[in-house]
Structure 1
Amino acid sequence: MPLLRVRLRLPDRPGSLGTVARTLGAAGADIVQVVVLERSAGRAVDDITVSWPQSASLDVLWDALASVRGLEVDGVWQTNEAPGVFADVEVVGQMAANPPNGVIALVEAVPKIFGGDWAAMLGRDGLVVHASWQAPDPLTLPVVPASGARAFTGEDGVRYAFIPVGRSGQALLLARVAAPPFHQTEIERLIQLATAAEAVLGVGTAV
């Protein structure tokens, strides 16, 4: 069954997540993982990864979630993997085992780990060093606002995460289509992964 990621805003009180879990189960979804992205002002933002029957309409899922009082759905999009920490460790291990192909390993892994559609490593000159196999061809790069790690939305509505890789002058660009913006928690996790990549591969090498 395909995996879907569901981003929800719900009341941060006992029983709220249980209600969502029962609702998802009744609709036919099997919960794989729950990640809390944020808790503030009595509300929580959660990413819930579920397996969803191939033949079932997403309208069933949306209608079920709409029936939960106080729940807001930020988005539902397809993903390839639950956003656990072990995938991050695995890709760092792949980079360490084969440094010459470290950038390729990183760029090919992050769309799967973060529920993105494609990724690219940009060089000091802003040109593409390597793009993941899912990237559009030809690849039109967005205008990146200002500097530093950030989430932003392109003029075409695509959601982007832009992560400088240490002092190398290069940057990781991750794109997500038809999905909510990257959350600050995801940006921080991408920064950690980029920092690990720089430590493993070294400044002035492939990254």
Structure 2
Amino acid sequence: MLLRLRVSLPDRPGGLGQVAKALGTLGADILQVTVLEREAGRAVDDFTVSWPGPVTASEARERLSAVPGVRVEGVWATKEVPGSALDYDLLMHVVSEPARGFATLVDALPGLCGAEWSLAVADGAVRHASLAAPAEFDLPEPPPRAISLDARELRLMLLPVVALGMHVIVARAEGPVFHRAELERAARIVDVVAKLAARAPAQS
């Protein structure tokens, strides 16, 4: 079973090794580590792990929280393939077919962001939607810049495409609120896709 674990730990020599050792003791195989933040003497890291057999998020959280100084900020199932270059694959597809840029983007974002679904909304209507996305979406007050928020049972990223009057939404039901590092990465990808899609020849 593939899981992502967001862990806050002391930013000192041996801190990361301590968490890795604890995961190994629990039988988890670490496939990827992403450093999201280092400040105020602490680091926030995302671990993508292969956990043997079924395990609930609460079980994983309880067992890892026993490590001194460690805070588990989120545990959720993921379909991400560690080591793959999904962002580059996405941009290559958009370069090949810029007219389908936003449809390709929306399909790819859940895998890129450890999320469940994504869609693009313009003028109150869903223009593109990934698998598992709702057919309709009531967009909160459209933000002028990229933001993440906790909305009822969903964690959301709202990513504006100002030139098109469009917003791209990425959602996950499990795990923590999207970290600012995730938000910045997604916003950059949306900006690049928007520029590539703008170069597509007009369809008659």
Per the TM superposition, whether the score is higher than 0.5 is yes
Identify if the C-alpha distance between structure 1 residues 11 and 72 changes in structure 2 by more than 3 Å, giving closer, same or farther: same
Pairwise CA distance, 1:86: 2.1
Pairwise CA distance, 1:78: 1.0
Between the aligned partners of 1:149 and 1:26, the Cα distance in structure 2 is 39
Aligned partners of 2:38 and 2:44 also within 8 Å: yes
* 1:126 aligned partner, one-letter code: G
1:107 alignment partner in structure 2:
106
Between the aligned partners of 1:84 and 1:115, the Cα distance in structure 2 is 14
- Residue number among 121, 136, 143 corresponding to 2:140 in the alignment: 143
1:194 alignment partner in structure 2:
190
Aligned partners of 1:32 and 1:82 also within 8 Å: no
Cα RMSD (Å): 2.2
Aligned partners of 1:33 and 1:82 also within 8 Å: no
Aligned partners of 1:49 and 1:82 also within 8 Å: no
Pairwise CA distance, 1:165: 2.2
1:165 alignment partner in structure 2:
161
1:80 alignment partner in structure 2:
79
Between the aligned partners of 1:61 and 1:180, the Cα distance in structure 2 is 15
> 1:55 and 2:54 equivalent?
yes
Between the aligned partners of 1:8 and 1:35, the Cα distance in structure 2 is 10
Pairwise CA distance, 1:67: 1.3
Aligned partners of 1:24 and 1:64 also within 8 Å: no
Aligned length: 202
Q: SS at 1:167's partner residue?
A: helix
> 1:43 and 2:42 equivalent?
yes
Query: Percent of aligned positions with the same letter in both sequences?
Result: 40
- Cα distance per residue 1:52-110 (max 9 Å; x no partner): 22434555422321210011011101111157682111101011112232222110111
Task: Choose 197-206 or 5-14, whichever is displaced more.
Answer: 197-206
2:150 alignment partner in structure 1:
153
Identify if the C-alpha distance between structure 1 residues 85 and 171 changes in structure 2 by more than 3 Å, giving closer, same or farther: farther
User: Runs of 5+ in structure 1 lacking a partner?
Assistant: none
- Residue number among 177, 182, 204 corresponding to 1:181 in the alignment: 177
Aligned partners of 1:13 and 1:42 also within 8 Å: yes
Aligned partners of 2:155 and 2:178 also within 8 Å: yes
User: Runs of 5+ in structure 2 lacking a partner?
Assistant: none
Q: SS at 2:85's partner residue?
A: helix
Task: Choose 186-195 or 60-69, whichever is displaced more.
Answer: 60-69
Between the aligned partners of 2:153 and 2:58, the Cα distance in structure 1 is 22
Identify if the C-alpha distance between structure 1 residues 22 and 163 changes in structure 2 by more than 3 Å, giving closer, same or farther: same
* 1:19 aligned partner, one-letter code: Q
Between the aligned partners of 2:126 and 2:173, the Cα distance in structure 1 is 19
Between the aligned partners of 1:176 and 1:161, the Cα distance in structure 2 is 9
1:24 alignment partner in structure 2:
23
Task: Choose 143-152 or 33-42, whichever is displaced more.
Answer: 143-152
2:67 alignment partner in structure 1:
68
Aligned partners of 2:2 and 2:51 also within 8 Å: yes
